[in-house]
């Protein structure tokens, strides 16, 4: 590809600069074609970067094994480089831009010798959507190219849009020498630039994903008046054919993908309810002319965690993975099928490092092993995923793993209260994970590792959408993980969560009155559809009960957490916390008076 038009001069100049610095043997501009992808796969099969899987059970599917030291995001090496430290905020690791460029460019010097440098033009979101944004990733990893083709709209159409718009996010990546001591993922929000070296792992190397679609995009969104969020988007269709779109944020291990691909229980299916998957991980939302928030999934594929994905937990995800998928760090059965813990069938013979499987070595599949697959292969894929204007949001849901205190579902009083609910969300650790039970880790809006600027400014940006003319989504909080005194889950979860979504939709439509409490509105007795549900009435009551004393302590802890972000914390959010605290105090006094 020789000529790219005058508006691509900046791009070609940058590519030339990178080539001079990194010194690759060859430079290839990627066009995103089927032939190019087939050639990359053939090359990686030859080099051993990919291994073929069973062509009968998993046609055109492959296994990639990463270096054992390179299997996850590395948050302590992930930096946000703004001129002022305060702009990155206490929620990010920071380095001054000039120092950061000098440090990482020294590592890029000659890093691609003996390798091919690939130039990947890509679009995050439907290629013709005004909500979408383009980028170019330069990488020396053919594995990255193959994954970016699945995860983004990549190649010639993206390059044409870049030529038309004249702007794009610059991403430079090299696997380097995979030395953890020479590994950095740096973000320069003011320059719309990402530099990543020393890792071939997904989130560190597929720069369109968390680096662009969240860290850089959140910065763009703040300046341009939209939101880039770590949220799934799911469509709920009622028996009358009305569709309601819900965006939902959960920290890891809280059932995000399961909700995105939820299969309604038999009773709901029989009644004519359907669920449509728009996105499983990232949501970009922008105000429309009608005042509603319209959302797109900027990704074209799923980069999902394999362990725990099975016929019982997520049959839709399993069905999606039947062909044309790339698996990373999973185990393999004797007949060449991918395997991981929680799959529910098959026996591993080779572990994720390629060794004969021995339980003494730990899990057969790495706990963070992944699959990459086109979203269109999902049985519940929503055709609206390709709509240029996006889908209108009726509700935003926040959730976390809270064994106690937090009800099954409650609705925030208004937008400002909803922002507080999102800012306060988090999950409690389990004994299996840390040895310390019940330690609450707050992860505001599930964005703590991904917000590209100061969290206090981020909360202020959320609050800024509450203005005349806006018809904002209702905000809810859910908790599928309440436990009883014996440590058993009180709510069955999975497909039964449809009952909670049903109540939310009735709230949106004004068909459920709910019961007002100091922390928000919970389902009134009889409002949750419990037909055919094997949950005792006393348990249902407990799931919607508000423990006033416990919540007074919670609101105090929330205040301490918010104060940790310093002077920029918006006064409106502090006032909202105070309002809820006072409502709880009043409820406590009323109860004391009744007892007296």
62 annotated ligand binder: no
Flag whether 467 is marked binding: no
Q: Which residue has the tokens 């290629």?
A: 127
3-state helix, strand, coil in the chain (%, to 5): 35, 20, 40
496 assigned binding-site residue = yes
Angle CA 528–534–540, to nearest 5: 45
- Core vs surface per residue 206-243: b (16+ CB within 10 A) or e: bbbbbbbbbbbbbbbbbeeebbbbbbbbbbbbbeeeee
SS (H, E, C) 288-335: CCCCCEEEECCCCEEEEECCCCCCCCCHHHHHHCCCCEEEECCEEECC
In the numeric block, the tokens 């790339």 are attached to 326
253 assigned ligand-binding residue? yes
Distance separating alpha carbons of residues 146 and 149, to the nearest angstrom: 5
Are 335 and 266 within 8 A, CB to CB? no
CB 316 within 8 A of CB 380: yes
**Helices marked H in 468-570:** 498-508, 537-543, 548-563
Instruction: Tell me whether residue 291 is annotated as binding.
Output: no
Does the annotation place 281 within a ligand binding site?
Answer: yes
Six-digit token pair at 442? Answer: 């707050």
Residue 254 appears among annotated catalytic residues: yes
What whole-number distance in Å separates Cα of residue 197 and Cα of residue 259? 34
Rounded Cα–Cα distance for residues 445 and 425 (Å): 7
**Following CA atoms 104, 106, 107, 113 in sequence, which dihedral angle do they give, to the nearest 10 degrees?**
130
CA distance 196 to 178: 11
370 marked among binding-site residues: yes
Residues ≥6 apart with Cβ < 8 Å to 465: 227, 287, 293, 415, 472
Catalytic residue among 134, 211, 254, 283: 254
254 annotated ligand binder: yes
Q: Give ∠ CA 200-323-345 in degrees, rounded to 5.
A: 90
Q: What element of type H or E holds 246? A: strand 243-249
201 labelled ligand-binding? yes
Nearest to 528 by CA among 496, 480, 564: 496
316 a known binding residue?
no
Q: 73 among the known binding-site residues?
A: yes
Provide the 3-class DSSP secondary structure of residue 478. Answer: strand
Confirm whether residue 257 is marked as ligand binding: yes
202 is an annotated ligand-binding site residue? yes
497 is an annotated ligand-binding site residue = yes
Is 252 known as a binding-site position?
Answer: yes
Q: Of 173, 171, 193, give the one whose Cα is nearest residue 184.
A: 173
User: Is 495 annotated as ligand-binding?
Assistant: yes
Please tell me whether 256 is known to bind a ligand. Answer: yes
Q: Are 207 and 173 in contact (CB under 8 A)?
A: yes
Annotated binding site: 73, 201-203, 210, 230, 252-258, 281, 368-370, 401, 494-497
* Residues with a known catalytic role: 254
Annotated binding site for substrate: 73, 201-203, 252, 368-370
Annotated binding site for GTP: 253-258, 370, 401, 494-497
Annotated binding site for Mn(2+): 210, 230, 281
């Amino acid at each position: 590809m020789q000529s790219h038009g005058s508006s691509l001069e900046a791009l070609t100049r940058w590519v030339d600069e990178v080539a001079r610095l990194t010194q690759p043997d060859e430079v290839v501009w990627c066009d995103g074609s089927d032939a190019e992808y087939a050639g990359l796969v053939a090359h990686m099969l030859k080099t051993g970067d990919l291994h073929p899987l069973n062509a009968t059970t998993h046609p055109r599917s492959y296994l990639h094994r990463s270096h054992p030291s390179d299997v996850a995001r590395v948050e302590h090496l992930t930096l946000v480089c703004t001129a002022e430290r305060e702009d990155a905020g206490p929620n990010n690791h920071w380095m001054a831009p000039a120092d950061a460029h000098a440090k990482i460019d020294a590592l890029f010097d000659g890093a691609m010798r003996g390798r091919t440098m690939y130039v990947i033009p890509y679009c995050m979101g439907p290629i013709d959507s005004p909500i979408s944004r383009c980028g170019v990733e330069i990488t020396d990893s053919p594995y990255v190219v193959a994954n970016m083709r699945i995860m983004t709209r990549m190649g010639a159409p993206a390059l044409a849009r870049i030529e038309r718009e004249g702007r794009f996010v610059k991403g430079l990546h090299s696997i380097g020498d995979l030395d953890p001591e020479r590994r950095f993922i740096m973000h320069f929000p003011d320059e719309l630039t990402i530099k990543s070296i020393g890792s071939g792992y997904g989130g560190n190397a597929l720069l369109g994903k968390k680096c662009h679609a969240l860290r850089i995009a959140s910065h763009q969104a703040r300046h341009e008046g939209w939101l880039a969020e770590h949220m799934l988007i799911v469509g709920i269709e009622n028996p009358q054919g009305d569709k309601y779109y819900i965006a939902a944020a959960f920290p890891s291990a809280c059932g995000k993908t399961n909700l995105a691909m939820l299969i309604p229980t038999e009773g709901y299916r029989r009644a004519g309810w359907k669920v449509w998957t728009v996105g499983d991980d990232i949501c970009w939302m922008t105000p429309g002319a009608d005042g509603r928030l319209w959302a797109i999934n900027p990704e074209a594929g799923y980069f999902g965690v394999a362990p725990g994905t099975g016929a019982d937990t997520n049959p839709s995800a399993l069905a999606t993975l039947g062909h044309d998928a790339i698996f990373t760090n999973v185990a393999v059965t004797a007949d060449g099928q991918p395997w991981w813990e929680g799959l529910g069938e098959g026996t591993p013979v080779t572990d994720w490092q390629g060794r004969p499987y021995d339980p003494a070595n730990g899990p057969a599949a790495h706990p963070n092993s992944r699959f990459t697959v086109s979203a269109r292969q999902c049985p519940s894929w929503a055709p609206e995923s390709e709509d240029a204007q996006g889908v209108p949001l009726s509700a935003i849901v926040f959730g976390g793993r809270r064994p106690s205190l937090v009800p099954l579902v409650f609705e925030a009083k208004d937008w400002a209260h909803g922002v507080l609910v999102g800012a306060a969300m988090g999950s409690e650790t389990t004994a299996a994970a840390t040895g310390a039970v019940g330690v609450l880790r707050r992860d505001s809006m599930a964005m703590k590792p991904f917000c590209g600027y100061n969290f206090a400014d981020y909360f202020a940006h959320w609050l800024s959408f509450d203005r005349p003319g806006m018809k904002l989504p209702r905000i809810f909080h859910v908790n599928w993980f309440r436990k009883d005194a014996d440590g058993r889950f009180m709510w069955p979860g999975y497909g039964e969560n449809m009952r909670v979504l049903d109540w939310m939709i009735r709230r949106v439509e004004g068909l459920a009155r709910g019961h007002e409490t100091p922390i928000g509105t919970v389902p009134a007795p009889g409002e949750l559809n419990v037909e055919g549900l094997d949950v005792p009435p006393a348990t249902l009551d407990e799931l919607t009960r508000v423990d006033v004393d416990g919540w007074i302590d919670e609101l105090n802890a929330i205040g301490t957490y918010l104060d940790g972000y310093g002077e920029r914390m918006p006064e409106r959010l502090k006032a909202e916390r105070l309002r809820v605290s006072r409502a709880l105090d009043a409820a406590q006094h009323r109860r004391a008076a009744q007892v007296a």
